[in-house]
Amino acid sequence: MAEKKKILEVKHLHTHFITDDVVVKAVDDVSLVLEEGSTLGIVGESGSGKSVTALSVMNLLMGTKGKVVEGEILLDGDDILNIPESKKRDLRGGRISMIFQEPMTSLNPVMTIGDQLIECIKNHESLSKQEAYDRARNILEMTGVPRVDKMMKEYPFQLSGGQRQRVMIAMALICEPEVLIADEPTTALDVTIQAQILDLMNRLKEKIGTSILFITHDLGVVAEICDQVAVMYCGRVVETADVYSLFGHTAHPYTQGLLASIPKLGEKVEELTVIPGNVPNPRRMPAGCKFAPRCPHAFERCLQEEPGFYEVGKGHFSRCWLNAPDNEVKGGEA
Amino acid sequence: MSEKLQTIQPGAPGAAMDMHEEIKTPMKVMTQRFLKQRNSVIALGFILFLVVLAFIGPLIVPFDVNQYDYSAILQGPSSTHWFGTDEFGRDLFSRIILGTPISLAVGLSAVTIGAVTGTVLGLLSGYYRGWIDAVVMRICDTLFAFPGIILAIAIVAILGSGLYNVVIAVAVFSTPTFARIVRSRTMAIKESVFVKAAINLGASDARILFKHILPGAIPDIIVQYTMSIGTSILTASSLSFLGMGAQPPTPEWGLLLSNGRQYIATNIYTTIFPGLAIFFTVLSFNTLGDGLRDALDPKLTE
Amino acid sequence: MAKNILEVEDLKIYYPLASETFFGKGGVVKAVDGVTFDIRENEVFGIVGESGCGKSTLGRGLCRLDPITEGRVVLDGQDISKFDRNQMRPIRKTIQMIFQDPYASLNPRMSIFDIIAEPIRIHNLAKNDKELEERVVNLLRRVGLDAYHANRYPHEFSGGQRQRIGIARALAVEPKLIIADEPVSALDVSIQAQVLNLLNELKKDLNLTYIFIAHDLSVVEHISDRIGVMYLGNFVEAGDKNKIYKNPLHPYTQALLSAVPIADPTVKRKRIILEGSIPSATNPPSGCKFHTRCPKRMPICETVAPQRYEPSPDHYVYCHLYDDKLEAQAAEA
């Protein structure tokens, strides 16, 4: 099987937030690979750094106190981090697009849907008015909204949540980007609408050839649409694998804990297995493995030293001493 | 904007707090935020200085307030008379210092009356709506229709000149501002989930008003209070300037300013120094208000 | 036979649309449009539905936070449907609520102590300060927090901890029935499990009854004994949880269950995709409100609202498909 092209590569990304008294390492040495034509899921809870990673890639940190302090981001081999601001602007919406959780706040309330779509095209390509309109109409139709022509003339407030999300997807895909970053796009939607949207994203992915970086906290959604998964905790990637291996041969205790703690349809348990404690305070991150204070398998070494990223299967890595090859664990007992 | 920042701040605030971490009461948080604003802290310092001056003024002034000295009329600043003298040879420096408690007293009392009245009206109309709201708002609209100073002049014209009536006039025109602010804050807080929770627990209206709504309105009230003092002092001075407020020989700053007007050609300092006193005092209160507003901003809920 | 702690009969909660548009008066939102059910002591009754179905309004109506337009609510044998605020006050010791948003449900200016003490003070449940303090500390411990948390303020706590505080506050009056309105929806997945376990534990220790309102079907299945599925203000299916999840009868329930993502990539399901989106609650469709999106609709569905049928004990469905008489007619035809 030919190896797939790496359409997006994030290498050792560090994004820090500089507040008055402390530096918060929101993203602390994160590396990711998105293969062409596939969907990479980034899973994490609050504080994991998943959204900040996406914003760093899209370079949307201006105006916040966040700054990428180290790392490389490559889009199809091109450096997109250390380039002038004007070039970064060109990329956004063009080669790389993003959709957000709350479609209402991303859509301009005083412009019609049609106009907003056309504006997207105009930012990146020069087409005639008619060509632009046709393209906009086309992509809107692909998202499956009813009465496309009517909707082109409507305003965001007239649309339902699901419809707005479709419009946002249309806007993101209109310039046929190489990469689509979706930050919790279905979290705010009803489950039946979510099903429709996930379906839509898959179909469009095939049709347009976009690769998707899908950020979510919902493991069910991950199982549905992701090909590869990266699990994040406290700004680090703690496990990464293809989706079958992640669910079938879970390696990292945090991932195991997450899977055990969600109620599953059809399963009967009296009590859910729980990950005790809370996410650590960013001002007082534990030394050693960040998950150790909550980990049922933690031992001495975990509290003192951060584990490396060890291979547990083909393309399957876990940041845990339990997965370290034997000669590295010398001196630590399980 | 702060909304966005919050979602991307890693780790829930207070996620793992331990027993010995200092308790961050809202008061403490606000104080810390306030102290970061240099201008406002300086303004607060100046105001405190004025307050102290108001009390100890009589003890430290080099000359009496009405000490005539016909041999030294309309002099400029000198080593004996730091700010010069007026047309009766009275020391301007002493008179200005002794005018401090007057301006402060007028400002504070007028605004306090306005704030209390306005708050009560605002709470009632914002919470109960209906006819109370209609009546209160119509009255406020009427009062708002007049520029503050015109209203003050009208009231003093009816009641007669003198500082007590100035206080009443300023209190009257401050009330609608407080009523409006408290009313809108009341309406907003009334919709919040924690108020619904309180109703659900069986809380009476009184409890909700005083324990939930009023504390939420206090920051706005405080900020408006400091801003209004500035306006109030300015209005009192203006009224005195027009001859409707303090009467001679009271060393009220507006009156001093008015007095000095006649002698500008001979001695410009009789207008400059009282003017500066008014200017810096009002500026300080306004700057303090700005700083308080930033510190008390309800991003407190983090 | 377990006693019914709550009996709801044909409950309707309508409220007028606030705005009057240019083109005429705003309509009436029929948030809850005729709901009938009973809740047994000590059970967990889950109410599931998507946005706009009226489940939250129903919860608030039962607590009388929203006014009831029509219908009866009988709590522990007492008809509270028409009680005014003063009459409701003592009732609030019996029925309490946990809110969805842990960040909004606690007054940011009150200390945790005051927040939990408030209900105790309102109902005079403590004879003196010492007893008050004891009660508050006990409540904190019961929900998994510590005594020293009492002096702190909400902004210092995480979402899960704030939710625990909200639970402690509700427990302070020693209620019998707790309405939990999406209590874990705003929490991280790993914290959800903690809070769900806590609720379960409290139910057993304190003999509580819950009405658990949520949109997450897996969570509802886990915690409930019986459930009701709501759509546009009505129940479409209700009864024993196991029966409904194993064998959903109503087309909406079937679509809903098929849409839930399963955390197992090897499971591939056929999804029932519903057409269209949820109609407006001011102008609901005639007949069966679901008919506009139903893959199994029949002519009668457009004109006649379905009755309640009980195809098996404690499994109710509001759908013409289960009308025995219709089936008989069809068989004859």
Per-residue pLDDT of B68-80, as tens digits, reads 888 888 888 888 8
Sheet of C315-317: strands edge to edge?
C95-98, C177-181, C209-214, C44-48, C226-231, C234-240, C315-317, C309-312
What pLDDT band is residue A333 in, cutting at 50, 70 and 90? very low
Give chain A's end-to-end CA distance (angstroms, integer).
38
**Chain B CB contacts of C122 below 8 Å:** 201-204, 207
**Chain C CB contacts of A164 below 8 Å:** none
pLDDT for position B19: 60
Residue of chain C minimizing CA distance to A249: C264
pLDDT for residue B11 is more than 50: no
pLDDT digits (tens, 9 = 90+) for A207-233: 888 999 999 999 999 999 999 999 999
Chain B: nearest CA to A80, how far in angstroms? 22
pLDDT for position A246: 94
pLDDT for residue C20 is more than 60: no
**Chain B CB contacts of C110 below 8 Å:** 211, 215
What pLDDT band is residue B259 in, cutting at 50, 70 and 90? confident
pLDDT digits (tens, 9 = 90+) for A118-137: 888 888 888 888 998 998 99
Most A-contacting residue of C53, C188, C240, C292 (CB-CB within 10 A), to test interface: C188
Looking at the partner chain, which of B5, B8, B16 has a beta carbon nearest the beta carbon of A281?
Answer: B16
Q: Which of residues 164-183 of C touch A (CB under 8 A)?
A: none
% residues pLDDT > 90 (chain C): 66
Instruction: Give the whole-angstrom CA distance, residue A94 versus residue A142.
Output: 19
pLDDT for position C329: 66
For residues B232 and C269, which has the higher predicted lDDT (pLDDT)? B232
Average pLDDT over residues A252-258: 93
Phi–psi pair at C79, nearest 5 degrees: -80, 105
pLDDT for position C234: 93
Burial zone of A193 (CB within 10 Å; 0-12 exposed, 13-18 middle, 19+ buried): buried
What pLDDT band is residue C229 in, cutting at 50, 70 and 90? very high
Output the average pLDDT for chain C.
Answer: 89
pLDDT for position A334: 40
Query: Which pair of tokens denotes residue A327?
Result: 């000669």
pLDDT for residue A14 is more than 60: yes
For residues A332 and B22, which has the higher predicted lDDT (pLDDT)? B22
What pLDDT band is residue C278 in, cutting at 50, 70 and 90? confident
Instruction: Give the whole-angstrom CA distance, residue A260 versus residue A272.
Output: 7
C128 contact partners, CB below 8 Å, separation of at least 6:
none
Instruction: Give the whole-angstrom CA distance, residue C66 versus residue C134.
Output: 34
What pLDDT band is residue B231 in, cutting at 50, 70 and 90? confident
pLDDT for residue A328 is more than 60: no
What pLDDT band is residue C25 in, cutting at 50, 70 and 90? low
Instruction: Give the whole-angstrom CA distance, residue C56 versus residue C88.
Output: 20
Residue of chain B minimizing CA distance to A280: B16
Is the CB of residue A222 less than 8 Å away from at least one CB of chain C?
yes
Is the CB of residue A86 less than 8 Å away from at least one CB of chain C?
no
**Chain C CB contacts of B208 below 8 Å:** none
pLDDT for position C18: 65
Instruction: Give the whole-angstrom CA distance, residue B55 versus residue B57.
Output: 6
Looking at the partner chain, which of B196, B199, B300 has a beta carbon nearest the beta carbon of C108?
Answer: B300
pLDDT for position C97: 95
pLDDT for residue B300 is more than 50: no
Is the CB of residue A276 less than 8 Å away from at least one CB of chain B?
no
What pLDDT band is residue B20 in, cutting at 50, 70 and 90? low
DSSP class of residue B212 equals: I
pTM for the model stands at: 0.85
Looking at the partner chain, which of B12, B19, B199 has a beta carbon nearest the beta carbon of C159?
Answer: B12
Q: Which residues of A273-298 are buried (b: 16+ CB within 10 A; e: fewer)?
A: ebbeebbbbbeebbebbbbbbbbeeb
Residue of chain B minimizing CA distance to C119: B201
pLDDT digits (tens, 9 = 90+) for B133-177: 999 999 999 988 888 888 888 888 898 888 888 899 989 989 999
pLDDT for position B237: 86
